[in-house]
Amino acid sequence: MINDFMIMILPILVIFLSLGVFFIWVSKSKEPYASTNDSKEHTHND
Amino acid sequence: MIETIGITVLWIFLYGYLIVGSIDFGAGFYSFYAKITKKEHTIRKVIDRYLSPVWEVTNVFLIFFMVGLIGFFPATAYYYGTALLVPGSVALVLLAIRGSFYAFANYGARESNIYLFLYGITGLLIPASLTTVLTISEGGFIAEEGGTVRLLLGELFVNPYSWIVVLLAIVSVLFISASFLTYYAARADDHGAYSLMRNFSLIWSGPTILMSFLVFLTLSTHNPEHFQRMVEESWIFLLSLVTFLAAVWLIYIGKNLGLAFCLVALQYAFAFFGYGATHLPYILYPHITITANVTNAEMGITLIIAFIAGLLLLVPSLFLLMRLFIFNADYVRGSNQLS
Amino acid sequence: MIDDPVILSRILTYATLGFHAIFATVGVGIPVYICLSEYIGIKRKDSHYILLAKRWARGYTILVAVGVVTGTIIAFQLSLLWPTFMENAGQLIALPLFMETFAFFFEAIFLGIYLYTWDRFKRPIYHWLLSLPIVLGSTASAFFITSVNGFMNTPRGFIYSEGAFTNIQPLVAMFNPAMPSKVSHVITTAYLTGAFILAAIAAFHILRGKTHVYYKKALHLTMIGCFIFSIATVVNGDISGKFLAAYQPEKLAAAEWHFETEDRATLLLGGILDPDEQEVKFGIRLPYALSILAFNRPTAEVIGLNEFPEEQWPPLFIHYFFNLMVVIGMYLAGVAFVYLVFYYFNRFNSLHPWLLRAIILGAPLAMLSIEAGWIMAEVGRQPWIMRGFLTVAEAATTSGHVLEMLILFSLLYIALGLLVPAILIRLFSKRNAETELEKQHVIL
């Protein structure tokens, strides 16, 4: 059950996997607290 | 072979630190000078625009040299490590004060005279303390007895050679920095700063060359063997003198200041590499030589490969940094938009 | 003790590393959030995220400056205090040490560029690209330097005979068995701690009555990071346990006060040890849990400390640091989980004051946990500096001036420790987010 893959490879994969999940979660989720967003309308004046 | 490549690489990095560090250390001093003489608006802006983006890079040259030295010549860790605990720690504290107080003064909310004073004064004390390592490397200051290594601090304090080296370091810092800032101020079209820095360059040029001669003189009694080798290779030191004279001439007439700074850099390159090459094969007289104390071949080759790979990454990045902040006329003048 | 260079060198190294760990952790953790926030800001054309990245980067610069300074100190102190160790390390593990400086160099260059080019590019995405080398460089620094630390725990890549090292393989030394689990744990906990610090700042402002959505966006972004990286930390923490059981069983046994080799081993939380009887009072015992942590099997046999000669035992107090680290890790994961549950189920208020207070508490706790983890890892390596080859006592300097240096550096760290928070508070309270947001609307 404990083998070289688990000791040598898996931990490094954990870093990349968690970074990937974080990136996708944050960029795909909809704008947080949009309903309470009271100043959004000023944002696109350009 | 490995030892030659290793020491060459390390010496190049130390030279890089000498130039970049000197600009930085001197600029700190001039910055403080400008503050207390109320000439802030003339040179502070010029100094800040150069220093702010590059200050962190300076430190790395030094760490790189130290780590590389231990990698290529592990015995240096033992000798220098044991002997330099006290002077090394003092230099470290000075570096720490300088680095953090620069950030505090620059990014913090308030301009503080104390921060600027510490920043300015450490700029002179750090080169002074770091160059004592070069002094120690000439031998005579480290005793090895009963299996332990000890620094003869008393000897170091009464030795004329060690004091001359310290003075040379300080005036060199002020000279290199002033000649660079003269060029930078000229590019920024800042006339007040330009004439001030030009005066400083000329003021410090004389002491620089005087101290260099005194270093030769005192070395001849302190380490005759090294001195003899330097005399044999005297052409390189003459080249250094020639470039120095040319640089001072250009600064005096106020033309081709970029070239003038390059000549100053060359002046120090000739002197520094001449000094280094004649110092060999010793890293520490008479305990460590590059041939006897080089690391094993496997590690040596791996380090060289890593170094080449690292350079492929660093050189373009450094080029980008210089292009954006030093050779970008718009930025130097203070305009922000990148064309 | 006052004139023993070994003990004094250990205390000074501890002071430097303990202080450096704070700034190094933040230095590795925060760039991820700066980078991501700027990216979202550009993609969604949302100036709030851009300002978030800017303000984080501003604070980050000051912290990184102190990190650079303390990192320089530890780089030199290794040679000054442990000359014999560095003489050996120079021959065996110089490669990652050398590469660490490259990674750091790379990061320093791009950090300089990043900070001073916010408005210099026509296309903002070019500026965002500059943040990638910062993330990459800081994380790679952590990777390389942790690899050296791994080597101290499991030295590999050489043959030792008759007082000399032969057949040296630098890459084998660098990719030693301790490296992957350590690297993974160090990096994800840095991301986790960075997230909690940023989340705590946002939570603090919301709790103080700031209602601008800017703070809520900051909180939400960082809390997602808290959750994901706390899970990752639990996962690679578990792998670290398995690594220890296989390669450094005395450290795991000392951390768990596990004296007799036995199967179906119990995990112990807290407790008071009677060292002579090897009996524990008042602890919480989780049956089978140690066997599961060590080998993923409840019946597995875990090696006990009595298999090792007593002079090679690590100090047994590391048990408390180990527990502290684990308990705080669970707390952080719990808080992040509760926040997300509250956020995604509309029945609850994810900005409830008590939840915000729990998040704020998470930031100092996360840092405490980092410190506890390093103490457990480094003290748990004793008496070795290179496990099996060189002891700490053999490696230390013989100089008689370590005490003076200890006082000197302690004063420096105290001064910096007091000044840094003061400067950060002054910096951010002088230019608060609301006024900067107002200005931004004009520009955008």
Q: Is the dihedral of CA C214, C216, C220, C226 positive or negative?
A: positive
The pLDDT value given to residue A46: 38
Q: Is C438 exposed, middle or buried (0-12, 13-18, 19+ CB in 10 A)?
A: exposed
| C327-358 per-position pLDDT tens digit | 999 999 999 999 999 888 877 788 888 999 99
**pLDDT single digits (tens) C290-334:** 888 888 888 888 888 888 898 889 998 999 999 999 999 999 999
**Secondary structure, 3-state, B55-69:** HHHHHHHHHHHHHHH
**Which residue positions in chain B have pLDDT lower than 70?**
40-42, 52-53, 107-111, 327-330, 332-339
How many residues are present in chain C?
A: 444
pLDDT at C407 (0 to 100) = 93
Work out the average pLDDT over C90-106: 88
Q: What does pTM read for this prediction?
A: 0.90
Nearest beta carbon to residue C239 from set A11, A18, A42 = A11
Q: How many residues does chain B have?
A: 339
Output C344-353 pairs: Cβ under 8 A, ≥24 positions apart.
C351/C206, C351/C216, C351/C219, C353/C207
Over residues C133-146, the pLDDT tens digits come to 999 999 999 999 99
Q: H/E element holding C259?
A: none
If you average pLDDT over residues C256-260, what whole number do you get?
Answer: 86
Residue type, B155: E
What's the maximum distance between 2 C-alpha atoms anywhere in chain B?
A: 66
Closest Cα in chain C to B84:
C80
Residue C278: φ, ψ to 5°: 55, 40
pLDDT-based confidence at residue C235 (cuts at 50, 70, 90) = very high
- Which residues of C are less than 8 Å from B110 in CB distance? 426
Chain C residues lying within 8 Å of B73, measured CB to CB: 90
Domain ranges of chain B: 2-333
Structure tokens given for B133 = 């390592």
Q: Is C396 exposed, middle or buried (0-12, 13-18, 19+ CB in 10 A)?
A: buried
Q: What is the C-alpha to C-alpha distance for residues C224 and C203, in angstroms, rounded to an integer?
A: 14
Q: Which of C70, C77, C101, C116 is the best substitution to test chain B (most B C-beta atoms within 10 A)?
A: C101
The strand ranges marked E within C383-433 are 384-386, 390-391
**Residue C7, beta-bridge partner list:** none
Residue C443 confidence (pLDDT) = 47
- The pLDDT of residue C442 is above 80: no
What is the distance between the alpha carbons of residues B315 and B322, in angstroms, rounded to a whole number? 10
Biggest CA-to-CA distance, chain A? 59
Beta bridge partners of C412: none
Would you state the pLDDT for residue B337?
A: 47
Helices (H) and strands (E) counted in chain B, each on its own, are 13, 4
Q: What is the mean pLDDT of residues C189-218?
A: 91
| ipTM given for this complex | 0.87
Per the CB < 8 A criterion, the answer to whether B26 and B173 are in contact is yes
Query: CA torsion angle for B26, B29, B34, B36 (degrees, to 10)?
Result: -170
Contact assignment for B86 to C84 by CB distance below 8 Å:
no
The mean per-residue pLDDT over the stretch C394-423 comes to 90
CB contacts, 8 Å: C220 with chain A:
32-33
pLDDT at C350: 81
Chains C and A touch (3+ CB pairs under 8 A): yes
B112: its two tokens: 């503080």
All residues of chain C having their beta carbon less than 8 Å from the beta carbon of residue A2 are: 242, 245-246, 295-296
Model pLDDT, residue B338:
44
Range B259-263 contact pairs with CB under 8 angstroms and sequence separation of 24 or more:
B260/B179, B260/B182, B260/B183, B261/B179, B261/B180, B261/B182, B261/B183
For chain A, the helix, strand and coil percentages under 3-state DSSP, each to the nearest 5: 60, 0, 40
How much is the pLDDT for C145? 93
DSSP state of B144: E
Query: Where in chain C are the domains?
Result: 187-391
**B85 DSSP β-pair partners:** none
Q: Do C88 and B74 touch (CB under 8 A)?
A: yes
- What is B34-48 written as a DSSP string? HHHTT-HHHHHHHHH
Which residue numbers in chain A have pLDDT < 70? 1-2, 35-46
Residue of C nearest to B320 (CA): C113
Q: CA B116, CA B124: separation in Å to the nearest integer?
A: 13
Can you give the C-alpha Rg of chain B in angstroms?
20
d(CA B328, CA B339): 10
B61-83 CB burial, b ≥16 within 10 A, e <16: bbbbbbbbbbbbbbbbbbbbbbb
Task: Output the CA–CA distances (angstroms, integers) from residue C427 to B334, C70, C205, C331, in the order listed.
Answer: 24, 22, 15, 31
Q: What is the pLDDT of residue B111?
A: 65
In whole angstroms, give the CA distance from residue C277 to residue C255.
17
C chain contacts of residue A43, beta-carbon cutoff 8 Å? 45-48, 441, 444
Residue C362: how many other CB atoms lie within 10 Å: 29
